Chain A
């Protein structure tokens, strides 16, 4: 059978099943709350699957493998502990967010922030930051799909055609179904991607050319022993920085934050919170193994930084028959789609519920329709950004993540600190984003961030510290000024 036809048939089956599940699980009620937060009736297991599938994206499948190819096992240290700590964040933030959402009818993150601080301006700023920093992350999803299909088909499916095809399918089930469809397809896509990934890694090691775990390990040790050690690849300061960055930034993703609203009760969030660190330690080993042992494919030729994001499809084309490679790619595509659909839906709800009402009157009965139109627009923006990607997937997401992490101190303060002031939150976010802008500028101009600011840590660590301090100190100052004025 023709190679392209094989890939096409497997891909078509997967996409048809995704659309089918999306249609089956679609919103039956004609209101915005059902469309955007699935009437707040999602059970613990579906909630856990949708949280995991939403968070594990193109970055998980391709970015992890690419970075592990370059930096070895040390990359597991960068990702795993921090992602396990996300379980704690889900508990600490998810439970109060869920309770407030149910009690006060919040549907989007900015609604909660604005509502709890009585400040529309803070809500708008919060929403703008969410959308601005989620867009580059969104672009990595079609990027991943395009890379994967192009490499697997030997260039017969061009990069942009693959990205376009998957974006179109995603639009179909999102427009039809909303949050319920997104959650249902996440369950299917999550189970599919993890089971395929595990089977592939085991299949790779028992391949006759690899000869088993021990032989592959010895071969890699003989040729590239640096892949086994952290020294020389990462300092402990950098690993520590990412360990605290992930639990801070992940709940700030609008697609994750919105999922705290959809739980049927807070028990669902408590269950998801402990399940998360239970599966992450094992699950994260697999893409790292693919990347690290991808070095075995050709010891004489080292892939460039951007090329290394292709290591998964390259290993596939080298060691797996085409049909098996296509099935693994379906697992990876499931990871992209489950993240991208949630990102688009979350941003659509933010713009519909928070952005547009600031400009014009939006009638409640029109919100669902507007949300659908925005889904199409946002998907097109994601595609446009993915058309000519400037960096590796890891570089893009780590910058976007720092921009979102700036919102964490404000969110914690709003949920837990009864002295919080909207102006202090605004100040904290603005200072944080100015620092993030400084990092972008430094990367663009080639001027390194000075050592006195980072002290050897990743840039995100001092930025988070500064935003916490600004929020705290400015609240104290504002309180004193108010007290003085009133006395």
Chain B
């Protein structure tokens, strides 16, 4: 599915094939937890606990296992929006911290790409780091430091 197509999908629709597979697993478990075929059952285990409770407990353990597996591959895309999303104070603070750490902007971008292994990922660029890079470029600070 190309970028234009999935951008038109509603926000709740899983974007990648991997996400759709996991969505199928969790929806299936949710549906299976409503065991309407056994709704009127009054069978009991050991006389005191209904069979359907045991079934529901097992479904939940399968869910726990699925969440555990999913938690290992889940890597959400953090959307970077184009407007200024923090207060000016925050901007100054971030810019200051960025400069203080002497981070390489190119390296930061590479790290971000590595973080997202999803095929539908977007390149995330921190707007504040970008601003600071522009400022550095204008005043030539970056080049000086590199040297």
* Residues in chain A within 8 A of chain B (CB atoms): 73, 76-77, 80-81, 84-85, 87-88, 91-92, 95-96, 99-100, 103-105, 115-118, 213-218, 220-221, 225, 228-231, 236, 239-240, 243-244, 270-271, 273-274, 276-278, 280-282, 285, 409, 412-413, 415-420, 468, 471-472
CA distance A258 to B27 in the complex (A): 27
Bound complex: CA of A76 vs CA of B60, how far in Å? 12
* Cα-based distance from A471 to B78 in the complex (angstroms): 20
A2 and B68 alpha carbons, distance in the complex (Å): 51
Query: Is B64 at the interface (CB under 8 A from chain A)?
Result: yes
B86 contacts the other chain (Cβ, under 8 Å)? yes
In the complex, what distance in Å separates the CA atom of A64 from the CA atom of B7?
43
Among candidates A73, A230, A277, residue contacting B67 with C-beta atoms closer than 8 Å = A277
Q: Which of A215, A221, A282, A416 contacts B11 (CB 8 A)?
A: A416
Verify A277–B56 contact, CB threshold 8 A. Answer: no
Mark out the residues of chain B between 30 and 70 whose CB falls within 8 Å of any chain A CB in the assembled complex: 30, 33-34, 36, 39-42, 44, 46-50, 52-53, 56-57, 59-61, 63-64, 67-68, 70
Interface residues of B (CB under 8 A from A): 7, 10-12, 26, 30, 33-34, 36, 39-42, 44, 46-50, 52-53, 56-57, 59-61, 63-64, 67-68, 70-72, 74, 76-79, 81, 83-86, 90, 93-94, 122, 126
Nearest B residue (CB) for A236: B36
Return the contact of A217 from the options B46, B78, B83, B85 (Cβ within 8 A). Answer: B46
Task: State the CA gap A225–B60 with chains docked (Å).
Answer: 26
B60 touches A81 (CB 8 A): yes
Q: Is the CB of A221 within 8 A of B30?
A: no
The number of A-B residue pairs with CB atoms under 8 Å apart is 155
Decide if B76 touches A413 in the complex (CB within 8 Å): no
Contact assessment for A218 and B47 in the assembled complex, using a CB-CB cutoff below 8 Å: yes
A118 touches B56 (CB 8 A): no
Residues A73 and B50 in contact, CB atoms below 8 Å apart? yes
User: Are A84 and B7 touching (Cβ within 8 A)?
Assistant: no
CA distance A84 to B63 in the complex (A): 8
- Interface of A, secondary structure class, is helix
**Is B83 a contact of A118 with CB atoms below 8 Å?**
yes
**Known interface pairs A91-B74, A118-B81, A418-B7; A228-B30 also in contact (CB < 8 Å):** no
Q: Please list 11 pairs of residues, one from A and one from B, whose beta carbons are closer than 8 Å in the complex, sorted by A's number.
A: A77-B56, A87-B63, A91-B70, A96-B76, A104-B90, A243-B34, A274-B67, A277-B64, A281-B60, A409-B11, A417-B11
Query: Nearest CB to that of A235 among chain B residues?
Result: B39
Residues of chain A within 8 A of B11, CB atoms compared:
409, 412-413, 416-417, 419-420, 471-472
- A231 to B37 Cα, complex, angstroms: 12
Complex Cα spacing A273 to B94, Å: 30
User: Is the beta-carbon distance between A105 and B86 smaller than 8 angstroms?
Assistant: yes
The docked-state distance in angstroms from the alpha carbon of A95 to that of B75 is 8
A277 touches B63 (CB 8 A): yes
Beyond A92-B76, A417-B11, 6 extra complex contacts between A and B, CB < 8 Å: A85-B26, A118-B81, A213-B48, A217-B46, A282-B57, A420-B11
Chain B residues, CB < 8 A from A217: 44, 46-49
Could you tell me the distance between the alpha carbons of A297 and B80 in the complex, rounded to whole angstroms?
59
Separation of A213 and B48 alpha carbons in the complex (Å): 6
Residue on A with the closest CB to B61?
Answer: A281
B74 touches A105 (CB 8 A): no
Q: Which residues of B contact A244 (CB under 8 A)?
A: 30
- Residue ID in chain B nearest A225 by CB atoms: B42
Q: Give bound CA distance, A271 to B85, whole Å.
A: 29
- The listed residue (A84, A92, A273, A412) touching B60 by CB distance below 8 A is A84
> Could you say which of B26, B50, B59, B86 contacts A228, with CB atoms under 8 Å apart?
B50
Q: A229-B50, A270-B71 are in contact. Are A118 and B40 (CB under 8 A)?
A: no
Contact B48 A214 (CB under 8 A): yes
By a CB distance below 8 angstroms, the chain A residues around B84 are 118
In the assembled complex, the CB of A466 is this many whole angstroms from the nearest CB of chain B, namely 14
The distance in angstroms between the C-alpha atoms of A409 and B11, with both chains bound, is 9
Give the docked Cα–Cα distance between A373 and B77 (Å). 38
With a cutoff of 8 Å between Cβ atoms, the chain A residues found around residue B61 in the complex are 277-278, 281
| Contact in complex: B74, A95 (CB < 8 Å) | yes
Measured CB to CB, the nearest residue on chain B to A293 is: B48
When C-beta atoms are compared, the residue in chain B nearest to A112 turns out to be B85
Q: Contact check: which of A73, A214, A416 meets B76 at CB < 8 Å?
A: A416
Contacts of B68 in A (CB 8 A): 274
What distance in Å separates the Cβ of A106 from its nearest Cβ neighbour in chain B? 9
- Give the distance in Å from the alpha carbon of A244 to the alpha carbon of B34 in the complex: 11
Q: Given contacts A243-B33, A416-B11, is CB(A88)–CB(B39) below 8 Å?
A: no
Residues of A within 8 A of B40 (CB): 229-231
Q: For residue B57, which residues in chain A have a CB less than 8 angstroms away from its CB?
A: 80, 281-282, 285
Q: Is the CB of B90 within 8 A of A213?
A: no
Q: In the complex the two chains form, what is the Cα distance from A215 to B126 in whole Å?
A: 65
- The answer on a CB contact under 8 Å between B60 and A277 is yes
Contact A88 B26 (CB under 8 A): yes
